Each structure stands twice: as C-alpha cells, then as structure tokens.
Amino acid sequence: MTQAPASASPDAVTRRETSWIWFDGRVCQYGEAKIGLLTHGLNYGTGIFEGIRAYWNAEREQLYILRMAEHFDRLRVNARILQMEVPLPTAELCSITADLLRRNRYREDIYVRPLMFKSAEIIGVKLHDVPESFAICMAPMGSYVGTGGIRCMVSSWRRIEDTMAPARAKCTGIYVNSALAKSEALQSGFDEAILLTMDGHVSEGSAENIFIVRQGVLYTPPPSDNILEGITRQTVMHLAREEMGLDVVERSIDRTELYASDEVFLCGTGAQVAPVIEVDRRRVSDGEPGPVTLRIQDIYNGLVSGGNAKYAEWLTPVYA
C-alpha cells in the first residue's frame, strides 16, 4: 500500500488514491498504478517529468490549464535526451489531461505531473533498449514557496553542469542536486536556495529560475549557465517586455549582484512569481517586495486565472 507524507490528512490520502490518472495507455485510479522495487527509473533516476498548473476561477466556475501544450512539447524534447519517445502527440496528451481533470471534478488549483521513466525491472545502467512507461497524475497544490517575500541563501552545492548531466532537462535523477540545496537552505533557517555554476555565476533556485532588477533593467541568467529553460521564465520575460516596456537581458550574474540588486525574484510553475527579500542574511534593497516584482506578479496572477483576454491562447478551459 502506498504511504502518504506524515503531514497528509487521511482525507487527502483517500482523495489521492482514488484520483483518476493516465498510466501506460489507460485511465485508472492512482492507487492501482504500481511499479516494482527493481524498476530502472527508481534505481537509476532514468526518468523525465513536467509540472503543469491549472488554476481555478471561482467566479467563472472554470479551471484553466496554463501553457499545457508548451509543457508537453518540452517533455517530448527532454525524453529524446534520455532515449525515450513520448507515445502520443501533444494534442492528444492535452485532451487526456483535460479529461482527467474533469473526471476528478477539481474545483481548486491543481498541479499536473506528466512522468516518463525507464520501467524495466532490471539491474544495469544504460539508456538504450530499456522499455519505458508514461503517466499523467495530478493533485491539489497551493503555493510552493511564499509569494509575499522569501529569504534565500546561496547554497554550498553547485548547480549540475551540462557536461555531467542534461541541466536543461527535467530529469528525475538530477533533482538530487536540488534536494541537497533545498534541505541545506531549510535546515539553515532559509526558505529557498540559490545555486551557482561551477565558475561561480548565479544559475537558479532549487526548482525555480531567477531574475534580478538593477536600475530598471531585468536580468536573468542565460541557458549556458545551466538553467532549466523554464516556461514560466519565458512567460515572465514576455510580460516584462510587452506589458511593462522593460528591457530584459540574459547574461551571467555574479553572486554579489544579488546583494546589490534593487529587486530579486524567483519564478516557476510551482513557485509562480516569488519575491526575494533577503539573500545570505542581507536585505534586498529595503527588505520588501519591489514594485517591478509586484507588478509582474499581479499581471501573471491575473492572466493565469483567465482575467486577461489577451492571453487566452495560453489557457485551456477544462469545463464546458
């Protein structure tokens, strides 16, 4: 029997176990989906995943999935890196996901987790000639990190290099890098970690991209600094340019620039737009979320729940 985290309520456990998911070509309940202890992806981290948000609009009684096709397209690219092929076209995956959300009758914010992994129960490290499985599951989710102002530390763990493992891909195995940094931060009294590259440039948070504001310009690390090429990151860059008229520059960022910045914020599917008010026990500017961050956060929050018709094409409504 699957076990829930210690913090999960009995109701949450039951709800998860009976939720409808997609697993290897069929709809079933979460509790019916089983894998063996020798599963390749479990033992060797040979899997890839996505995170997709769906936002509930109570006034409209509608659930909106944000940029779903882009996430499945990225999953397809990442799968090829691990010598896997996503079994269905993006349009069909989007249809399956919307159907699952309807079946589960969700009326709250939801996190959707597509997952593909090497599923053979064998001992031996390789990627080729190993069968794979594909699943889509989902669960209610609020804020992953605080959105009112978080405290960060620069981690002693460095961001994994693309010459070691594919930093651009959401590979399950390399998230041990994130887990080490996140636990270090939490156990040191901070909310989140910021990782540097091996040459000392700012890369990203444990599971978020990072932006800084200096003299009215928005800066973010480039893909060459081993970041995940985030879809929320792309969204923020577009909103900053098109809605606020800001210059957005992709360039390497030094650690001390975090201390000297007017504003710092993290973003991601889970984190959304999260202001950073302190780095390494140094206040960012006046120690309050800055105006640029708050404006981006406001625009972002408005569009994800269907409040901005200009970006309707980014949203998939679930209910008729």
Greatest pairwise CA separation for the chain in angstroms = 56
Contacts of residue 242, Cβ cutoff 8 Å, sequence gap at least 6 = none
Domains along the chain?
10-140 (3.30.470.10), 150-304 (3.20.10.10)
- The pLDDT score that the predictor gives to residue 7 is 60
What is the tens place of the pLDDT at every residue in 122-138?
999 999 999 999 999 99
- The two structure tokens encoding residue 195: 């990782």
**Taking Cα atoms as reference points, which of 304, 287, 286 lies closest to residue 231?**
304
What is the C-alpha to C-alpha distance for residues 282 and 285, in angstroms, rounded to an integer? 9
Alpha helix segments (H runs only) across 197-249: 231-242
Across the strands, what pairs with 161?
none
Give me the phi and psi of 112, to 5 degrees please.
-105, 130
34 is catalytic: no
Q: Which amino acid is at 13?
A: V
What is the tens place of the pLDDT at every residue in 46-72?
999 999 999 999 999 999 999 999 999
H or E stretch covering 76? helix 68-81
- Catalytic one among 118, 170, 182, 310? 170
- The pLDDT score that the predictor gives to residue 148 is 87
| Residue 47, number of CB atoms within 10 A of its CB | 25
In the predicted model, residues of the chain with pLDDT beneath 70 are 1-8
What is the tens place of the pLDDT at every residue in 104-125?
999 999 999 999 999 999 999 9
Across the strands, what pairs with 275?
265
Query: Which region, left, alpha or beta, applies to residue 36 given φ > 0 means left and ψ of -120 to 50 means alpha?
Result: beta
CA Rg value for the chain: 20
- The two structure tokens encoding residue 304: 């994800």
- The pLDDT score that the predictor gives to residue 9 is 76
Q: Which amino acid is at 250?
A: E
